Amino acid sequence: MIDSQVFAQHRRLLFDVAYRMTGSVADAEDILQEAWLRCRDVDGGQLAHPRAYLVKTVTNLSLNQLTSARARRETYVGPWLPEPVLTAPDAGQEAEMAESISMAMLVVLETLTPAERAIFLLHDVFGFNHAEVASILDRSEVAVRQTAVRARAHVAARRPRFDVDQGVRREAVDRFRKACAGGDLNAMMELLAPEVICWSDGGGKVTAARRPLEGADNVARWLLGVFAKPETQNTLLVITEINGGPGILGLADGQPAGAICLDFDGERITGVRMQGNPDKLRGLTR
């Protein structure tokens, strides 16, 4: 049996792997629970590297979850977005690790195959070498290297820009928040890039656009229309760190009602990702 203290020691790493693999806080927590149940039956004294064994268990459970989740998404109502999670600023965190939890990057990771996603994350984000990744996934090192090259090229072609100063980003997020709360169309138009795209995930349970909205005028008018509705007028919009960067948390009666993450190109907003599905808000209370 792996000692509970050993599992607790690596719990943060295990959650980070599971969350980045699945894009779901709920699934990540379920995976950790299942991993713990499985590890209780393992003789920890016979394991030379408990950390590697735990990561292997969580990674393979995540791969199984991805397969079933993708089947469910075929019938999902409207755009699907990852579950947002509250994070804390960490100046010592490496750029690759910080970027990998952003909403935009999680969406990019969704375009990889499950194997590509696992290999990219384990090697490029979590720092396992190719031999260790091969052992975790029960693949040859040659196959892992080939898949890693393919996954890296795929991500590089689609990865969002992260060269905007955090202070500039936070100021723009605050201006966006004020424009939403005040119904200021002109202020919103000044913030949005002409080619901006808005994705809203309501899961068929709350107000959301069934398709991505494109263009500053369409996006601005739709956003202000949403926040002008009676059911959202009393929602408190606060700035907090979500998925590694400044975002907007919506609170209704003190409880999370949704989250907004923004993509930037310079000082202009190129992407708006709104999560309002009540089943996907668990990470906003962690």
Report whether 36 contacts 7 (CB < 8 A): yes
Task: Note whether 62 and 145 are within 8 A (CB).
Answer: no
Domain ranges, ordered by start, for the chain: 4-80+91-157, 166-284
CA distance linking residue 273 with residue 210, whole number of Å: 13
Residues of the chain where predicted confidence (pLDDT) is lower than 50: none
What lies within 8 Å, CB to CB, of 236 at 6+ separation is 250, 251, 252
Tokens read off for 46: 């016979």
In this structure, how many other beta carbons lie within 10 angstroms of the beta carbon of residue 284?
Answer: 23
Q: Is-contact 89 241, C-beta < 8 A?
A: yes
**Angle, helices 50-73/130-137, rounded to nearest 10 degrees:** 60
The CATH H-level (homologous superfamily) assignment of domain 4-80+91-157 is PhyR, sigma-like (SL) domain (1.20.140.160)
Q: What is the DSSP letter of 230?
A: T
How crowded is residue 129: how many other Cβ atoms within 10 Å of its Cβ? 12
Question: Which element (helix H / strand E) includes 73?
Answer: helix 50-73
Helices of type H across 163-266: 166-182, 185-191, 216-228
CA distances, 101 to each of 84, 197, 204, 235 (Å): 9, 20, 25, 26
Beta-carbon neighbour count of residue 230 at 10 Å?
6
Instruction: Give tens-digit pLDDT for 187-205.
Output: 999 999 999 999 999 998 8
In CATH terms, the fold of domain 166-284 is: Nuclear Transport Factor 2; Chain: A, (3.10.450)
| Residue given tokens 């263009």 in the structure block | 215
> What are the start-end ranges of the E strands in 108-244?
192-201, 213-214, 236-242
Q: Which residues does 24 contact at the CB level (< 8 Å), separation at least 6? A: 69, 82, 83, 280
Looking at residue 67, its pLDDT comes to 87
Q: CB-side exposure of 132: number of CA atoms within 13 Å? A: 17
Residues in the chain: 286
Closest to 214 (Cα-Cα) out of 186, 195, 190, 189: 195
Q: Write out the two tokens for 114.
A: 């499950």
Q: Provide the whole-model pTM.
A: 0.91
